[in-house]
Each structure stands twice: as structure tokens, then as C-alpha cells.
Amino acid sequence: MIADLDRPALWAYRSDYRPPADFDAFWRSTLDETAAFDLDVRLSPVVTGLRTIDVFDVTFAGFGGHPIRGWLRVPSDRIERLPAVVQFHGYASGRGHPLDDLLWASAGYAHLVMDTRGQGGDYAGGSTGDPVGTIGPAYPGFMTRGIADPETYFYRRVFADAVRAVQTVRTLDFVDSERVAVAGNSQGGGIALATAGLVPDVAALYAQAPFLCDFRRGVRITSEGPYAEIAGYLGAHRWEVEQVFRTLAYFDGIGFAARAIAPAWFSCGLMDGLCPPSTAFGAFHAYGGQKEIQVWDYNGHDAGGAQDLATAVSAFGAVLQK
């Protein structure tokens, strides 16, 4: 069953989201605050038994100087500087196991997957805490942590961490700093989109079924998944509706999309009840660079699955591989 709008309506849809007047100043201040801490990149080789891919345990300083973990996977036979893909994972997941997700390194990229702070208690384990903790009341999950104020909201720290992840791969002597792409699905797609808006010289973007876009619409039309956390919170804090959406306006993927210019590939499934396709189209239509979107009529939050990945590998190859 179609969970949202049909194809013609999606192409016609334009979100009524408008960024706050100080959106750019807020993020400039956030990144300046983060830049006050040394990046402090640390790589530790991991013994995996793999013959064609080297794996490193990575730590770098994110927002507040907090240590952020990740896996770096690179082809063992590297000679010249490599293009890189920085990947962000789905909601409540973590960086997983060193042997997970060997796709990008197998395709010839340096591949950094960033652990999202505080997450990793669900289907793939994480290793990064969030020292800030919960500020004020919150609904179970991550969507409402610190939501009373943009300065304290959970995703302020996450998006700043993501920018630092791009900076981290750019410090590596075997990476071509001008050929760094960002990628992710669901929450990871939303983080990648935010990163493309905050680091406009990234080389490419891949966002599969992106989350964290068009918050007002997402909260209104779906009762599933993380958007429902916001609705649950507002059900108990009825007087905070406008303040909550004021905070979320600084973190909406549509605001970042309008500031991003890298070639981008989006995807969504018409039966997606977690991240309604209109929210992805809201970001897609606002996107400031060359863009394509693949719509899958009979898929939900999985969107195109491996076929989307095949598209991304081909697209990134055309843009990033010399």
C-alpha cells in the first residue's frame, strides 16, 4: 500500500519548511566551537584475516572534543591516493563489526564508517558514548534529547561529529582530500545530507530513504519509527509544540539540501511508512546541486536495497575514480 503521495504528487510536492533566519550563523558557530578542539586522529590496525582489505579502528575528536569511534577500511594494494567514502549508519545502530560492509573498500575507496554517539544498542553494536547525556525531559529514543533548545539538541552534536569525520579522512596521507563523498541510508542518509550542506566541497552524496527531513510533515503523517517519538513527546508536552519545531528547523535536511552543491543520488520507496517518500522529495526538490532520485513502487524503508548500492557504486565511480 502506498504510504504517502503517489508519483505525480511527489514530483509536484514542495515542503513549506523555511530555515530560521540565523540557520547559517548557528551552524557556523557550532562548527567554530567544534574546531577549537584538536582533531586528534588515531588509527589502530585490526587483525581480520582479510587479504585484500586493511581495517583500522579509528578515533577522532568530535563535538566538544568527545572521542568518536569508527572503522576505516582500505584496499591493501593501494599505491596512489584513494578517493574516500564517509558513511553514516541507521537509527539506533552502530559501526558494527570490523568485517561488516566491505563494499566500498572492495570498490577501491578508503571507507570510513562513523559511529553515531550514544547509539548502537540495536541491530549493530556501537562503541561511542555521548558524554553530554540527556538535557531535560525526553521521550524514549534519541529524537527528543535536548529538544527544548537548538544548542542542546542531540543532532547538533551528531552533525558536528559528521563534519569532523570528513575532516578526519582528509588528513590521511593515502586519501585524495578533493575526492571525498558522503553516504548513508535512513538516519545515515539524513546525516550525509546535513554533512553535504555543511561541507559543500564534498565530491558526491548518496542518500537512501533519508531520515531527518521535513520534520513537520514526517511527524504528522506517520505513526511509525523515530518520528513517532516526537509525536509522543508532544502528546505529553502540548505547550511546547512551536518550540520543538523551532529547534528542529535547525536540523531539517531540507535546510542543508538547499546549501549542498555536490552531485547527489537519492532513493525512496513508495511504501515507506518510517520515512515517508514526500519527506525525501522535500529535500530532493530543495537540493542545490545536480541530483537524481530513484523511486521504488513496491518497497518500503529498504527502498532499492542492493540495486541502490549498485547505482551509488556506478555514480561515485564516474565522479570520484580517476
In a domain, 227, yes or no: yes
Of the candidates 272, 278, 285, 308, the residue annotated as catalytic is 272
Q: The domain spanning residue 121 has which CATH number? A: 3.40.50.1820
Question: Which pLDDT score is estimated for 179?
Answer: 98
In a domain, 45, yes or no: yes
In a domain, 1, yes or no: no
Distance CA 289, CA 208 (A): 17
Distance CA 282, CA 254 (A): 6
Of the candidates 15, 130, 301, 308, the residue annotated as catalytic is 301
Q: Is 227 helix (H, G, I), strand (E, B) or coil?
A: helix
Distance CA 266, CA 295 (A): 9
Distance CA 260, CA 124 (A): 30
Distance CA 70, CA 212 (A): 22
Instruction: Confirm if 163 and 193 have CB atoms less than 8 A apart.
Output: no
Q: Is 124 helix (H, G, I), strand (E, B) or coil?
A: coil
In a domain, 280, yes or no: yes
CB atoms near residue 132 (< 10 Å): 17
Angle at 51 between CA 47 and CA 57, to 5 degrees: 35
Question: Which pLDDT score is estimated for 123?
Answer: 66
Question: Which pLDDT score is estimated for 121?
Answer: 66
State yes or no: is 77 an active-site residue.
no
How many alpha carbons lie under 13 Å from residue 314 in its C-beta half-sphere? 7
State yes or no: is 32 an active-site residue.
no
Q: Which three three-digit cell numbers place residue 182? A: 558522503
What residues are paired with 43 via a beta bridge? 58
Residue 26: what residue type? F
In a domain, 2, yes or no: no
Question: Which pLDDT score is estimated for 282?
Answer: 98
Distance CA 1, CA 167 (A): 42
Q: Which residues contact 228 (CB under 8 A, 6 or more apart)?
A: 222
Question: Which pLDDT score is estimated for 122?
Answer: 65
Of the candidates 15, 93, 186, 267, the residue annotated as catalytic is 186
- State how many domains the chain has: 1
In a domain, 231, yes or no: yes
pLDDT in tens, the chain (322 residues): 677 999 999 999 999 999 999 999 999 999 999 999 999 999 999 999 999 999 999 999 999 999 999 999 999 999 899 999 999 999 999 999 999 999 999 999 999 999 999 998 666 778 788 888 666 777 778 999 999 999 999 999 999 999 999 999 999 999 999 999 999 999 999 999 999 999 999 999 999 999 999 999 999 999 888 999 999 999 999 999 999 999 999 999 999 999 999 999 999 999 999 999 999 999 999 999 999 999 999 999 999 999 999 999 999 999 998 7
In a domain, 73, yes or no: yes
State yes or no: is 177 an active-site residue.
no
Distance CA 277, CA 214 (A): 10
Q: Which three three-digit cell numbers place residue 107? A: 570498490
Question: Which pLDDT score is estimated for 82?
Answer: 97
Distance CA 82, CA 61 (A): 23
Instruction: Confirm if 286 and 214 have CB atoms less than 8 A apart.
Output: no
Range of the domain at 184: 7-320
Look at residues 273, 210, 284, 296 and name the one whose alpha carbon lies nearest to residue 4.
Answer: 273
Q: Which three three-digit cell numbers place residue 90? A: 541507521
Instruction: Confirm if 10 and 34 have CB atoms less than 8 A apart.
Output: no
Question: Which pLDDT score is estimated for 299?
Answer: 96
